[in-house]
Structure 1
Protein backbone atom coordinates (compact mmCIF):
# COMPACT_ATOMS: atom_id res chain seq x y z
CA UNK A 1 0.00 0.00 0.00
CA UNK A 2 1.44 3.34 -0.94
CA UNK A 3 0.27 6.87 -0.39
CA UNK A 4 1.36 10.02 -2.19
CA UNK A 5 3.62 12.12 -0.03
CA UNK A 6 4.62 15.65 -0.94
CA UNK A 7 7.98 17.17 -0.11
CA UNK A 8 8.91 18.10 3.44
CA UNK A 9 8.82 21.85 3.79
CA UNK A 10 11.05 23.59 6.33
CA UNK A 11 9.64 25.97 8.91
CA UNK A 12 8.66 29.32 7.49
CA UNK A 13 8.87 28.29 3.83
CA UNK A 14 5.22 27.51 3.17
CA UNK A 15 2.10 25.84 4.44
CA UNK A 16 1.66 22.11 4.17
CA UNK A 17 -1.85 20.78 3.94
CA UNK A 18 -2.60 17.38 5.41
CA UNK A 19 -5.35 16.73 2.86
CA UNK A 20 -4.46 14.05 0.30
CA UNK A 21 -4.02 15.52 -3.15
CA UNK A 22 -3.61 19.08 -1.89
CA UNK A 23 -0.75 21.11 -3.26
CA UNK A 24 2.15 21.71 -0.92
CA UNK A 25 4.03 24.30 -2.92
CA UNK A 26 6.64 21.73 -4.00
CA UNK A 27 6.63 20.55 -7.61
CA UNK A 28 5.63 16.90 -7.99
CA UNK A 29 8.36 16.10 -10.53
CA UNK A 30 11.49 16.86 -8.52
CA UNK A 31 14.95 15.86 -9.56
CA UNK A 32 17.16 13.38 -7.77
CA UNK A 33 18.29 16.08 -5.35
CA UNK A 34 14.78 17.17 -4.26
CA UNK A 35 15.04 15.93 -0.68
CA UNK A 36 18.62 17.12 -0.37
CA UNK A 37 17.75 20.64 -1.52
CA UNK A 38 14.78 20.80 0.84
CA UNK A 39 16.95 19.61 3.71
CA UNK A 40 19.65 22.16 2.84
CA UNK A 41 17.11 24.98 2.72
CA UNK A 42 15.75 23.91 6.12
CA UNK A 43 19.29 24.14 7.54
CA UNK A 44 19.60 27.62 6.04
CA UNK A 45 16.27 28.64 7.58
CA UNK A 46 17.41 27.22 10.92
CA UNK A 47 20.65 29.18 10.73
CA UNK A 48 18.75 32.39 9.99
CA UNK A 49 16.37 31.79 12.91
CA UNK A 50 19.27 31.17 15.28
CA UNK A 51 21.12 34.25 14.04
CA UNK A 52 18.04 36.39 14.69
CA UNK A 53 17.74 34.98 18.21
CA UNK A 54 21.44 35.61 18.86
CA UNK A 55 21.15 39.20 17.64
CA UNK A 56 18.15 39.85 19.87
CA UNK A 57 19.94 38.20 22.82
CA UNK A 58 22.88 40.56 22.35
CA UNK A 59 20.53 43.53 22.18
CA UNK A 60 18.76 42.35 25.35
CA UNK A 61 22.07 41.96 27.18
CA UNK A 62 23.27 45.44 26.21
CA UNK A 63 19.91 47.07 26.97
CA UNK A 64 19.23 48.10 23.37
CA UNK A 65 16.17 45.84 23.01
CA UNK A 66 12.91 47.71 23.60
CA UNK A 67 10.66 44.66 23.97
CA UNK A 68 12.01 41.54 25.66
CA UNK A 69 9.09 39.55 24.24
CA UNK A 70 10.72 39.73 20.81
CA UNK A 71 13.78 37.92 22.14
CA UNK A 72 11.68 35.30 23.94
CA UNK A 73 9.67 34.59 20.78
CA UNK A 74 12.80 34.37 18.61
CA UNK A 75 14.49 32.12 21.16
CA UNK A 76 11.49 29.78 21.27
CA UNK A 77 11.32 29.67 17.46
CA UNK A 78 15.03 28.83 17.25
CA UNK A 79 14.68 26.06 19.85
CA UNK A 80 11.66 24.53 18.09
CA UNK A 81 13.33 24.77 14.68
CA UNK A 82 16.46 23.08 16.03
CA UNK A 83 14.39 20.31 17.58
CA UNK A 84 12.50 19.81 14.31
CA UNK A 85 15.65 19.59 12.19
CA UNK A 86 17.27 17.15 14.61
CA UNK A 87 14.12 15.00 14.59
CA UNK A 88 14.03 14.98 10.78
CA UNK A 89 17.71 14.03 10.70
CA UNK A 90 17.16 11.22 13.19
CA UNK A 91 14.20 9.87 11.20
CA UNK A 92 16.20 10.01 7.97
CA UNK A 93 19.07 8.08 9.56
CA UNK A 94 16.60 5.58 11.01
CA UNK A 95 14.99 5.09 7.58
CA UNK A 96 18.42 4.66 5.96
CA UNK A 97 19.41 2.05 8.53
CA UNK A 98 16.12 0.21 7.99
CA UNK A 99 16.71 0.18 4.23
CA UNK A 100 20.22 -1.15 4.74
CA UNK A 101 18.83 -4.02 6.85
CA UNK A 102 16.51 -5.16 4.06
CA UNK A 103 17.53 -8.41 2.38
CA UNK A 104 18.48 -8.03 -1.26
Structure 2
Protein backbone atom coordinates (compact mmCIF):
# COMPACT_ATOMS: atom_id res chain seq x y z
CA UNK A 1 0.00 0.00 0.00
CA UNK A 2 1.43 3.38 -0.94
CA UNK A 3 0.86 6.70 0.71
CA UNK A 4 -1.51 9.03 -1.15
CA UNK A 5 0.69 11.96 -0.14
CA UNK A 6 3.88 11.43 -2.09
CA UNK A 7 5.44 14.84 -1.46
CA UNK A 8 5.72 14.49 2.33
CA UNK A 9 9.24 13.49 3.34
CA UNK A 10 10.23 12.10 6.71
CA UNK A 11 12.86 13.96 8.73
CA UNK A 12 16.30 12.43 8.39
CA UNK A 13 16.15 11.18 11.98
CA UNK A 14 13.40 8.73 11.10
CA UNK A 15 14.21 7.84 7.50
CA UNK A 16 13.95 4.14 8.30
CA UNK A 17 10.21 4.61 8.76
CA UNK A 18 9.63 5.79 5.19
CA UNK A 19 9.33 2.26 3.82
CA UNK A 20 7.32 0.60 6.57
CA UNK A 21 4.41 -0.18 4.28
CA UNK A 22 6.70 -1.65 1.60
CA UNK A 23 8.43 -5.01 1.44
CA UNK A 24 11.88 -3.55 2.14
CA UNK A 25 11.13 -2.14 5.60
CA UNK A 26 13.45 -4.39 7.60
CA UNK A 27 16.70 -3.51 5.72
CA UNK A 28 15.95 0.23 5.93
CA UNK A 29 15.40 0.10 9.68
CA UNK A 30 18.46 -2.09 10.25
CA UNK A 31 20.62 0.24 8.15
CA UNK A 32 19.43 3.28 10.07
CA UNK A 33 20.14 1.66 13.43
CA UNK A 34 23.57 0.43 12.37
CA UNK A 35 24.53 3.80 10.90
CA UNK A 36 23.33 5.74 13.94
CA UNK A 37 25.23 3.61 16.41
CA UNK A 38 23.57 5.29 19.39
CA UNK A 39 20.05 3.95 19.05
CA UNK A 40 17.16 5.91 20.45
CA UNK A 41 19.32 8.47 22.24
CA UNK A 42 21.12 9.38 19.01
CA UNK A 43 17.84 9.71 17.11
CA UNK A 44 16.36 11.88 19.84
CA UNK A 45 19.46 14.08 19.99
CA UNK A 46 19.50 14.51 16.22
CA UNK A 47 15.78 15.33 16.20
CA UNK A 48 16.24 18.00 18.85
CA UNK A 49 19.17 19.52 16.96
CA UNK A 50 17.10 19.63 13.77
CA UNK A 51 14.23 21.19 15.72
CA UNK A 52 16.53 23.91 17.04
CA UNK A 53 17.84 24.61 13.53
CA UNK A 54 14.32 24.87 12.09
CA UNK A 55 13.20 27.17 14.90
CA UNK A 56 16.27 29.38 14.42
CA UNK A 57 15.53 29.63 10.68
CA UNK A 58 11.90 30.45 11.38
CA UNK A 59 12.87 33.07 13.97
CA UNK A 60 15.35 34.68 11.59
CA UNK A 61 12.75 34.92 8.84
CA UNK A 62 10.21 36.31 11.33
CA UNK A 63 12.64 39.11 12.22
CA UNK A 64 13.17 39.81 8.52
CA UNK A 65 9.40 39.94 8.01
CA UNK A 66 8.98 42.33 10.94
CA UNK A 67 11.68 44.67 9.69
CA UNK A 68 10.50 44.57 6.08
CA UNK A 69 13.63 42.88 4.76
CA UNK A 70 11.89 39.63 3.77
CA UNK A 71 11.51 39.35 0.00
CA UNK A 72 9.04 36.45 -0.05
CA UNK A 73 6.59 35.84 2.79
CA UNK A 74 6.13 32.27 1.57
CA UNK A 75 9.62 31.43 2.84
CA UNK A 76 8.62 32.47 6.34
CA UNK A 77 5.34 30.58 6.23
CA UNK A 78 7.08 27.40 5.08
CA UNK A 79 9.79 27.71 7.74
CA UNK A 80 7.22 28.39 10.46
CA UNK A 81 5.17 25.34 9.50
CA UNK A 82 8.30 23.14 9.33
CA UNK A 83 9.28 24.31 12.82
CA UNK A 84 5.76 23.62 14.09
CA UNK A 85 5.71 20.11 12.64
CA UNK A 86 9.19 19.36 13.96
CA UNK A 87 8.11 20.50 17.42
CA UNK A 88 5.05 18.25 17.28
CA UNK A 89 7.21 15.31 16.18
CA UNK A 90 9.72 15.76 19.01
CA UNK A 91 6.94 16.15 21.58
CA UNK A 92 5.26 12.99 20.26
CA UNK A 93 8.55 11.08 20.49
CA UNK A 94 8.99 12.29 24.05
CA UNK A 95 5.45 11.32 25.01
CA UNK A 96 5.83 7.84 23.52
CA UNK A 97 9.12 7.35 25.36
CA UNK A 98 7.51 8.36 28.65
CA UNK A 99 4.56 6.01 27.98
CA UNK A 100 6.95 3.15 27.22
CA UNK A 101 8.95 3.84 30.38
CA UNK A 102 5.76 3.93 32.44
CA UNK A 103 4.63 0.60 30.99
CA UNK A 104 7.99 -0.99 31.75
CA UNK A 105 7.81 0.28 35.33
CA UNK A 106 4.33 -1.27 35.72
CA UNK A 107 5.56 -4.73 34.73
CA UNK A 108 5.71 -7.21 37.59
CA UNK A 109 9.17 -8.50 38.38
Q: Given the two structures, how large is their TM-score scaled by the length of structure 1?
A: 0.79
Alpha-carbon spacing, 1:35–1:14, altered in 2? closer, same or farther (3 Å): closer
- Cα RMSD after superposing both structures: 2.1
Q: Select the residue among 9, 16, 19 that pairs with 1:17.
A: 19
Q: How many residues align?
A: 94
Other-structure match for 2:32: 26
Alpha-carbon spacing, 1:70–1:12, altered in 2? closer, same or farther (3 Å): farther
Other-structure match for 2:78: 73
- Structure 1: unaligned runs, 5 residues or longer: 1-9
CA distance in 1, matches of 2:26, 2:48: 27
Q: Is the 8 A contact 2:58 2:79 kept in 1?
A: yes
- Identify, as 1 or 2, the structure richer in helix: 2
Q: Given the two structures, how large is their TM-score scaled by the length of structure 2?
A: 0.76
- Structure 2: unaligned runs, 5 residues or longer: 1-9
